[in-house]
Amino acid sequence: MAKKSAQESMETPMMKQYQAIKDQYPDAFLFYRIGDFYELFNDDAVKGSQLLELTLTARNHNSADPIPMCGVPHHAVQNYIDILVDHGEKVAICEQMEDPTLAKGMVKREVIQLVTPGTRMETGVTGAKVNNYLAGFTKQAAGFGFAYADVSTGELQTANLTTFDAVLNEVMAVEAKEIVVDDTIDDALRAQFKPLGILVSTQTDITTSAELSFLTQDLTDHAETAAVSMLLSYMEGTQKRNLSHLQRAIAYEPSYFLKMDHYAKRNLELATNIRTGKKSGTLLWLLDETKTAMGGRLLKQWLDRPLLSVEAINARQDKVAELLEHYFERSNLQDELVKVYDLERLAGRVAFGNVNGRDLIQLKTSLKQVPKIKYVLEELNQTVFGDLLKGLDPVDDVADLIERAVDDEPPISVTDGGVIKDGYDQQLDAYRDAMKNGKQWIAELEAKERKETGISTLKIGYNRVFGYYIEVTKANLSKLPEDRYERKQTLTNAERFSTPELKEKETLILEAQEKSTALEYQLFNKIREVVKAAIGRLQRLAKVVASLDVLQSFAVVSENYRFVRPQLTTDHDLEIEAGRHPVVEKVLGKQEYVPNDVRMDDDTTVLLITGPNMSGKSTYMRQLALTVIMAQMGCFVPAKSAVMPVFDQIFTRIGAADDLISGNSTFMVEMQEANDALMHATANSLLLFDEIGRGTATYDGMALAQAIIEYVHDHVHAKTLFSTHYHELTDLEDSLTTLKNIHVGAVEENGQLVFLHQIQPGPADKSYGIHVAKLAGMPTDLLTRAANILQELEAHAGETPTPVNVDAPLQEAVDATPKATPTEQLALFDVPSGDPKMAAVIDELKQMNLMAMTPMDVMNKFYEIQQKLQ
Residues in the chain: 870
Secondary element (H or E) of residue 588:
helix 582-588
Element (H, E) at 139: strand 133-140
Does the annotation list 834 as a binding residue? Answer: no
pLDDT for the residue numbered 819: 41
pLDDT of residue 815: 41
The torsion angles phi and psi of 200, rounded to 5 degrees, stand at -105, 120
Backbone φ and ψ of 715, nearest 5°: -120, -35
- Tens digit of pLDDT for each residue in 213-263? 899 999 999 999 999 999 999 999 999 887 889 999 999 999 899 999 888
Q: Identify the DSSP state of 413.
A: -
Question: Which residue type, as a one-letter code, is found at position 386?
Answer: G
Residue range 760-789: mean pLDDT, rounded: 71
pLDDT band at residue 804 under the 50/70/90 scheme: very low
Nearest to 788 by CA among 802, 807, 808: 802
pLDDT computed for residue 156 by the predictor: 96
What pLDDT, on a 0 to 100 scale, did the predictor assign at position 808?
44
Residue type, 274: I
Contact 560, 638 (CB under 8 A): no
Residues 555-594: tens digit of each pLDDT: 999 999 999 999 999 889 999 999 999 999 998 887 778 8
Q: pLDDT, tens digit, for every residue of 394-426?
A: 999 999 999 999 999 999 888 888 999 999 999
Residue from 232, 237, 258 nearest 247 by CA: 232
pLDDT at 201 over 70: yes
Distance from C-alpha of 397 to C-alpha of 170, rounded to nearest angstrom: 40
> Residue 10 CA to chain centroid, in angstroms?
43
Residue 283 near residue 583 (C-beta atoms within 8 A) = yes
Check whether 8 has a pLDDT greater than 60. Answer: no
Q: Within 13 Å and on the Cβ side, how many CA atoms surround 449?
A: 24
Count the neighbouring beta carbons within 10 Å of the beta carbon of residue 694: 17
pLDDT tens column, 76-114: 999 999 999 999 999 999 999 988 878 788 899 999 999
615 is in an annotated binding site: yes
* pLDDT, mean of residues 370-380: 95
Is residue 24 classed as helix, strand or coil in its secondary structure?
A: coil
For residue range 689-746, what is the model confidence (pLDDT) as tens digits?
Answer: 988 866 666 677 788 889 999 999 999 999 999 998 888 899 999 999 999 999 988 7
- In angstroms, rounded to a whole number, what is the distance separating the alpha carbons of residues 865 and 813? 38
Annotation-wise, does 127 bind a ligand?
A: no
| Rounded distance between C-alpha atoms, residue 740 and residue 680, angstroms | 23
End-to-end CA distance of the chain: 80
Model's pTM, two decimal places?
Answer: 0.82
Scanning 23-93, the segments in alpha helix (DSSP H) are 42-52, 77-86
Q: Known binder of ligand: residue 665? A: no
Per-residue 3-state assignment (H helix, E strand, C coil) for 47-59: HHHHHHCCCCEEE
Mean pLDDT across the chain: 86
Per-residue b or e along 704-716, where b marks 16 or more CB atoms closer than 10 Å to that residue's CB: bbbbbbbbbbeeb
CB atoms near residue 500 (< 10 Å): 8
Q: What contacts 111, CB < 8 A, 6 or more positions away?
A: 21, 24, 25, 30, 92, 93, 94, 95, 240
Tens digit of pLDDT for each residue in 600-650?
998 999 999 988 777 788 899 999 999 999 999 999 999 999 999 999 999
The continuous run of DSSP H or E covering 327 comes out as: helix 327-337
pLDDT at 3 over 80: no
Indicate if the pLDDT at residue 121 is higher than 50. yes
CA distance 233 to 228: 8
Alpha carbon 101 to its chain's center: 45
Q: Taking a C-beta distance cutoff of 8 angstroms, is the pair 336, 376 a contact?
A: yes
> In the prediction, which pLDDT does 825 show?
39
The strand ranges marked E within 204-363 are 250-251
Tell whether 614 is in a known binding site: yes
DSSP string for residues in 766-817? ---HHHHHHHTT--HHHHHHHHHHHHHHHHHTT-------TTS-HHHHHHHS
pLDDT bin (cut points 50, 70, 90) of residue 842 is confident
The pLDDT of 144-165, averaged and rounded, is 94
Which is higher by pLDDT, 11 or 55? 55
Strands, sheet with 28-34, edge to edge from the N-terminal-most edge strand: 57-59, 67-73, 37-41, 28-34, 90-96, 109-115
Confidence class of residue 768 from pLDDT cuts 50, 70 and 90? low
Q: How far apart are CA 710 and CA 723, in angstroms?
A: 14
Helix (H) or strand (E) holding 744: strand 739-749
Strand partners, 94: 32, 111
Closest CA to 72 of 104, 32, 108: 32
Is 618 annotated as ligand-binding? yes
d(CA 480, CA 488): 15
Element (H, E) at 137: strand 133-140
CA pair distance 340, 332, nearest whole angstrom? 13
Binding site annotation covers 679? no
Q: Is position 832 annotated in a ligand binding site?
A: no
CA–CA distances in Å: residue 870 to residues 802, 816, 838, 843, 864: 32, 35, 10, 17, 10
Say whether pLDDT at 821 is over 60. no
List b or e across 83-117, with b for residues whose CB sees 16 or more CB atoms inside 10 angstroms: ebbeeebbbbbbeeeeeeeeeeeebebebebbbbb
| Distance between CA atoms of residues 733 and 761, nearest Å | 12
Contact by Cβ (8 Å): 599, 706: no
Q: Which domains, and CATH codes, for the chain?
A: 6-115 (3.40.1170.10), 133-256 (3.30.420.110), 288-395+536-560 (1.10.1420.10), 426-528 (1.10.1420.10), 567-764 (3.40.50.300), 766-819 (no CATH), 836-869 (no CATH)
693: left (phi over 0), alpha (psi -120 to 50) or beta: left
Three-class DSSP labels, 481-545: CCCCCEEEEECCCEEEEECHHHHHHHHHHHHHHHHHHHHHHHHHHHHHHHHHHCHHHHHHHHHHH
